[in-house]
Structure 1
Amino acid sequence: MKIAAIDLGTNTFHLIIAEKSDSEMNIIYKTNKPIKLGEDITKENKIIPAAFERAINCLKDFKATLNQYGVTKIRAVATSGVRSASNGQDFIHTVKKETGIAIDMINGEEEASLIYEAVKYSGAIQGKSLIMDIGGGSTEFIFCDENGFYWKKSFDIGAARLMQKFFKSDPINQENQNQINQHLKENLSELIEFGETFRATTLIGSAGAFETYAEVLNPSIVLNEIANAPIDIEAYHQLSKKFLHSTHQERSEMPNLIPLRVDMIVMASMITDYVLAELGLKAITLSTYDLKMGVLKDLQNN
């Protein structure tokens, strides 16, 4: 039996297909497309026509791939970009009409739960940890250990949102950085309050920006072949400073920094820096398994 998950992120759409047997799941295909569904979304809180069209065309391609592989069970989930858009329901209706794909618009709590299941499956959780998944529209946080999660929440502080609101200089100036840190302080007080009691020691980054940190720091890493990997925290801090002090052009010339993340990696680094500093976390681990793998595992189990 072939099963598939589609993750309609604010920046990127992902498709992953697996062959399922009794208790095994073998990934046979995966791809992603930089759709930028959240382009200019902070202006009128709408998916703009160009992004709408890009998304529909991408999902038509995904549908053709699903047919080609003979997928019998599929779940497509939409997150912050669709959740928060005033025309999000119009988008879901149009996708169903034009591609036959039914989109499940999940809330932040379910998104965080699915991310936890994916990260647990990766083997990245060793002791008290904080999972962080930095998306374009939202960022999910889960305090957990190997036995389960103890607190989880999704916040509308994704990299694309921060960039549209605060990233007004090149390289980013101190005033913009101060505005972002103040915004994080105002929005993440609940996270910090719980975290000070929970005392996690490790930050686990779920794919996305953390894959970029890993690839830039270690160009020989092959992400498709690993489920998790440590990221040296001191090396990360040096890399973060480099991102913050570089221009758009300088970052675009950095190896393993894909065009979609050239500017957003600055925002991701600022979120990462803030959380590391506020909670005194001592180590960073990458999980290459994220929301789409959580959706796939959920399909496998049900």
Structure 2
Amino acid sequence: MRIAVIDLGTNTFHLLIAEIVDQRFEIIYKTNVPVKLGEGRINENIIIPAAFERGIKCLENFAQTINEYEVDHIKATATSAIRSAQNGTDFVAVVKEKTGLTIEIINGNEEAELIYLGVKLSGAIQDRSLIIDIGGGSVEFILCDTEKLIWKKSYNIGAARLLQQFFKSDPINDIDKNAILNHIQTQLSDLFEKCEEYQPKILIGSAGAFETFAELIINKQNDHVDIKNVKTYHFNFDEYIATSIELLNKDYTERAAMPGMIPLRIDMIVMATLITNYVLGRLKLNKLSLSTYDLKMGSLAGFL
């Protein structure tokens, strides 16, 4: 059985095609496109025309690839940017008309569930953990242990939302930094209550920004690790902290020049760093790991 999974994120659209035989899978095609659907007016809940067109064009290309691979089943999910946009359902309708693809708009809880399934599939959950997935529109947190999901919630504090609302200085100054941290603190009060109750031992970052953190450290240390071909990566905590301080102290040009940085994340990574460091500090955690498996792998897990 051949499966195509499409993940329509706020920043990036992903396509993964896998062959499933006897409850085992092999990924035979994988790509992502920085569509930036949340560009411009995400906090006003609007997909602007240029982003709308980029999204349609990308999905037309995905549909062509899916046809070429003679896929049996397609699962396409849309998350924060589309579910919160006033014209999100219009986008889904135009995609259906132009490509034949049926997109399911999932809510935050469903998104968190799929992220958990993806991270679980990677084998990253070795202790009581807090999973974090920093998207452009939303951030999902999942408390879990090696056996079960304990608690989950999605928050509208994604990197693109914070960027558009608060990022007015570069390098980011203390005024903007404090405004972001105050906003995060207000939004995440119930998360910290749950963490007080369940005491996670490690923070697991789901793909995205955490892959960039890993790439920056690997390049700086000249390590021989290919993030594209591993399921998990364990950060040296001191190296992560040093890298995060660099990211907060550099401007756009300096961040762009860092080996391992990708264009999409040059600004977004500042927001992701602030969120990650705040959560680590508030929970007094000094263990951080990466799962390269995320929502799309959670969607795939549903077919296994």
TM-score band by shorter chain is over 0.9
Q: Give the secondary structure class of the aligned counterpart of 1:218.
A: helix
Contact 1:141 1:154 in 2 (8 A): yes
After the TM superposition, which residues 49-64 of structure 1 pair with which residues of structure 2 at under 5 Å, given as runs?
49-64=49-64
1:70 matched to 2:70? The reply is yes
Q: Give the secondary structure class of the aligned counterpart of 2:143.
A: strand
Instruction: Tell me the TM-score normalised to structure 2 length.
Output: 0.97
Contact 1:42 1:161 in 2 (8 A): yes
Choose which of 288, 291, 301 in structure 2 pairs with 1:297. 301
Give unpaired runs (5+ residues) of structure 1: none
In the other structure, the counterpart of 2:234 is 230
Deviation of the 1:42 alpha carbon: 3.4
In the other structure, the counterpart of 2:245 is 241
After the TM superposition, which residues 203-218 of structure 1 pair with which residues of structure 2 at under 5 Å, given as runs?
203-218=203-218
Contact 1:52 1:91 in 2 (8 A): yes
Contact 1:171 1:248 in 2 (8 A): yes
Q: Give the secondary structure class of the aligned counterpart of 2:47.
A: coil
Structure 1 runs, 4 residues or longer, greater than 4 Å off: none
Choose which of 268, 274, 278 in structure 2 pairs with 1:270. 274
In the other structure, the counterpart of 1:254 is 258
Deviation of the 1:235 alpha carbon: 0.9
In the other structure, the counterpart of 2:48 is 48
Contact 1:131 1:141 in 2 (8 A): yes
Cα 1:43–1:226, aligned 2, differ >3 Å: closer, same or farther?
closer
Percent identical pairs in the alignment equals: 55
State the AA in 2 paired with 1:276: L
In the other structure, the counterpart of 2:98 is 98
Q: Distance in 2 between matches of 1:256 and 1:229?
A: 15
In the other structure, the counterpart of 1:37 is 37
Deviation of the 1:43 alpha carbon: 5.2
Instruction: Tell me the TM-score normalised to structure 1 length.
Output: 0.98
Q: Distance in 2 between matches of 1:137 and 1:14?
A: 16
Deviation of the 1:41 alpha carbon: 2.4
Contact 1:41 1:85 in 2 (8 A): no
Contact 2:126 2:145 in 1 (8 A): yes
In the other structure, the counterpart of 1:154 is 154
Contact 1:35 1:54 in 2 (8 A): yes
Q: Distance in 2 between matches of 1:122 and 1:186?
A: 32
How many residue pairs align between the two structures? 300
| Further displaced range: 39-48 or 272-281 | 39-48
Residue deviations 1:101-145 (CA, integer Å, cap 9, x gap): 100000000110111111011010011100000000000000001
Deviation of the 1:297 alpha carbon: 1.1
Q: Distance in 2 between matches of 1:242 and 1:221?
A: 22
State the AA in 2 paired with 1:186: T
Root mean square deviation of aligned Cα: 0.8
Contact 2:42 2:81 in 1 (8 A): no
Q: Distance in 2 between matches of 1:140 and 1:188?
A: 11
Q: Distance in 1 between matches of 2:110 and 2:75?
A: 14
Cα 1:111–1:43, aligned 2, differ >3 Å: closer, same or farther?
closer
1:119 matched to 2:119? The reply is yes
In the other structure, the counterpart of 1:185 is 185
In the other structure, the counterpart of 1:196 is 196
Deviation of the 1:249 alpha carbon: 0.6
In the other structure, the counterpart of 1:173 is 173
Q: Distance in 2 between matches of 1:67 and 1:73?
A: 11
Q: Give the secondary structure class of the aligned counterpart of 1:171.
A: coil
State the AA in 2 paired with 1:290: D
Contact 1:38 1:81 in 2 (8 A): yes
In the other structure, the counterpart of 1:282 is 286
State the AA in 2 paired with 1:234: D
